[in-house]
Structure 1
Amino acid sequence: MKILVACYSRTGTTKEVGEAIAKELGADFDEIVDLKKRTGLPPIRFLIAGKDATRKRKTNIKFERAAAGYDLIVIGTPVWAGNITPAVRTYLGAQRLDGKKVAFFCTYSIGHEKVFDEMKALVPKSVVVGTLGIPAKEVKAGDYLKRAKEFAESLKK
């Protein structure tokens, strides 16, 4: 089975989890890049990013690999203001995922409960085979690897 793990990560936290999952699965890894500048003073950049996520905005992105050539696509996002990021929202609309097996993961500080429902709604003709939410503090502490490995193992079945 050919597998792709793709994720957006502004700070590197979600990318770290995505790379660990890709390694466990023996999968290709692709980073989704948001072409909108999301840097600046912390309070301002968080407010703008959260507003974009809450308003369900899309953004210009780039990525290397098309999902069409894969049997399973694992897609990751950080959670911003309880929502998926504009980059992942755009990615889910840009890729051809109809009939594909997909799995989702997210990293979050608070409020990730509706994220997977939102992601599923954006790919209604895909088969969702798993989800994983990991608190950002677990990633920073290095306490996420067991859960990432268990998630990867569940996707192999």
Structure 2
Amino acid sequence: MNKILVVVYSYTGTSRKVAQLLCSQQGWPMAEIAETRPRAGAFGSFRCLLDSVFRRRPAIRYDGPKTKDFDAVVLVSPIWGQRLAGPMRSFVGTRRNHLPDVAVISVMGGRGAPNAVAEISRLIGRAPMLDTAFTTHEVDNGSFATRLQAFGTAVRSAEGAQSAVRPAVLSPQAV
């Protein structure tokens, strides 16, 4: 059986709700990222925007299991200002060499998931094996649950499959 860990950062609790349901559906363990400096009130929300605009990496705490002990890690994070949330950026940036296969779930108001996936790809030097996104509206009304379960099943299947090796002459990147 594949060992898959879900790592979540959640400012409002919405991303945590997604991660908890995924873990419940799939039987996977969950670990949380916490900030060392709390975000409270309007200034905390303003810092979220600044972290995104300037791609800052705020100080975080992570007391979860070692990611390198797993076959795959599912990263669950909110989108701030159409970019990856700063605390998740910090986590990925500091652990890039210890992350196995990665899947990404973005939770957003409406847009920005592709930007977050692209940033994670740059940080770890490879594309995530799978990614998906949910709006806060979908999470609030519960309509995301079926798609989340399908995503979890796809992650489990993708992690268990061997990558196909194609000759260079068949590769679209071959010159």
Tell me, yes or no, whether TM beats 0.5.
yes
Aligned positions of 1:90-105 closer than 5 A = 90-97=90-97, 100-105=100-105
Q: Give % identity.
A: 22
Which structure is higher in RCO with an 8 Å CA cutoff and minimum separation 6? 1
Corresponding residue for 1:106? Answer: 106
For residue 98 of structure 1, report the CA deviation from its aligned partner: 5.4
Q: Larger C-alpha radius of gyration, 1 or 2?
A: 2
For residue 101 of structure 1, report the CA deviation from its aligned partner: 0.8
After superposing on structure 2, the runs of 4+ consecutive aligned residues of structure 1 that deviate more than 4 Å are 96-99
SS of residue paired to 1:27? coil
Aligned positions of 1:6-155 closer than 5 A = 6-41=7-42, 44-64=43-63, 65-97=65-97, 100-112=100-112, 113-125=114-126, 128-155=128-155
Q: How many residues align?
A: 154
Contact 2:32 2:62 in 1 (8 A): yes
SS of residue paired to 1:128? coil
CA distance in 2, matches of 1:97, 1:141: 37
CA distance in 2, matches of 1:56, 1:66: 25
Contact 1:66 1:95 in 2 (8 A): no
Instruction: Name the structure where helix makes up a greater proportion of residues.
Output: 2
SS of residue paired to 1:79? strand
TM-score, with structure 1 as normaliser: 0.91
SS of residue paired to 1:152? helix
